[in-house]
Structure 1
Amino acid sequence: MLDRIDYALLRLLRKNARLPNKDLAEKTGIAPSTALERVRRMREAKILLGYHAEIAPEAIGVGLQAMVSVRLARHSRALVDGFHRHLLGLPEVLACYHVAGADDFLAHVGVRDSEHLRQFTLSALTEREEVAHIETRLIFEFQRNVELPAHGDLPA
């Protein structure tokens, strides 16, 4: 069970995962050893799953981002799992969501330009037998929300 201190630590780490332990302790009003132990415990409990670097897309040649909806023609565990692995193996796929509804997957892709997007969708998606339909939406702007969800039952 997480308490208000744990949530405060999570909020701080969500905003800046590189925050030094002494700063985490100071901002939450606890001893540095306590902060270190709480973060370690949350990592071991799989509450903290990892730390990520936010990279400027242009710095790595990504000039265009899109969300691609994919609907499969047939569904079985093997087909769905296999397609999921296929998406995650594509270097253009930045994130992959297996979703409910009319579509089966949403793929957040990063490509050089519109021609790269066209070639990607044709070769990586439409040529696959299990794909029945795709729909592409261009992303004009992307910003990650660093705040934790505000649920009424979470400690402040």
Structure 2
Amino acid sequence: MPNEMRPAELDETDRGILRVLARDARTPNNAIAAAVGIAPSTCLGRIRALRERGIVHGHHTDIDLAALGLPLQAMIAVRLGAHTRGQVDSFLDHAAGLPGVISVFNLSGGNDFLLRVAASSADALRDFILDHITSHPGIQHTETSLIFTHRRGAAALSAL
């Protein structure tokens, strides 16, 4: 099995550190260390090792997009006309660099991509889709769903 497919070997201390970071990535190192029962210097080394092993990719800030003038969020399902590596990679690179795009998911199934986007209004969302999505060569179909509510799930925590 390739390395990226193998579950990471984590001891209970690593799992405890990850649980704390998943709840609040801003938790100070000394508080993480106290929560898992290790010295702060050991904790810092463990967190550094988790980053180096690719288990921790970064720390993210959940921003109130409405406060930035982007109160409307949507999921845009995109289907390509052809599924060559070139077309898939081209659209992925294109979509990830667009203004207002929060996340891009490459999928299996009926749709090839799912984009989470933020916009200032319904008109701005329509313009975004027409100017940046449906105008891209190779797009066969799009379907847009407005997001009413979003909450981050805790599924990853249950695996720890």
TM-score band, normalised by the shorter chain?
A: over 0.9
Do the aligned residues in 2 keep the contact of 1:71 with 1:104 (CA within 8 Å)? yes
Counterpart residue identity of residue 88, structure 1: A
How does the TM-score come out when normalised to structure 1?
A: 0.93
Kindly state the Cα deviation for residue 148 of structure 1 after the two structures are TM-superposed.
2.3
SS where residue 158 of structure 2 aligns? coil
Do the aligned residues in 2 keep the contact of 1:11 with 1:147 (CA within 8 Å)? no
**Count of residue pairs the alignment pairs up:** 152
Partners of 1:139 and 1:27 in 2: CA distance: 36
Q: Return the structure number with greater relative CO, CA threshold 8 A, min gap 6.
A: 1
Query: Which stretches in structure 1 are left out of the alignment for 5+ residues?
Result: none
Query: Which stretches in structure 2 are left out of the alignment for 5+ residues?
Result: 1-8
In structure 1, the residue matched to 2:104 is: 96
Runs of at least 4 residues of structure 1 off by over 3 A? none
Kindly state the Cα deviation for residue 129 of structure 1 after the two structures are TM-superposed.
2.4
How does the TM-score come out when normalised to structure 2?
A: 0.91
Counterpart residue identity of residue 53, structure 1: T
Partners of 1:87 and 1:129 in 2: CA distance: 12
In structure 1, the residue matched to 2:151 is: 143
In structure 2, the residue matched to 1:53 is: 61
Kindly state the Cα deviation for residue 147 of structure 1 after the two structures are TM-superposed.
5.5
In structure 2, the residue matched to 1:132 is: 140
Q: Percent identity?
A: 41
Counterpart residue identity of residue 51, structure 1: H
Kindly state the Cα deviation for residue 94 of structure 1 after the two structures are TM-superposed.
0.5
Q: How does 1:20-39 map to 2 (within 5 A)?
A: 20-39=28-47
Counterpart residue identity of residue 6, structure 1: D
Measured on the aligned residues, the alpha-carbon RMSD in Å equals 1.2
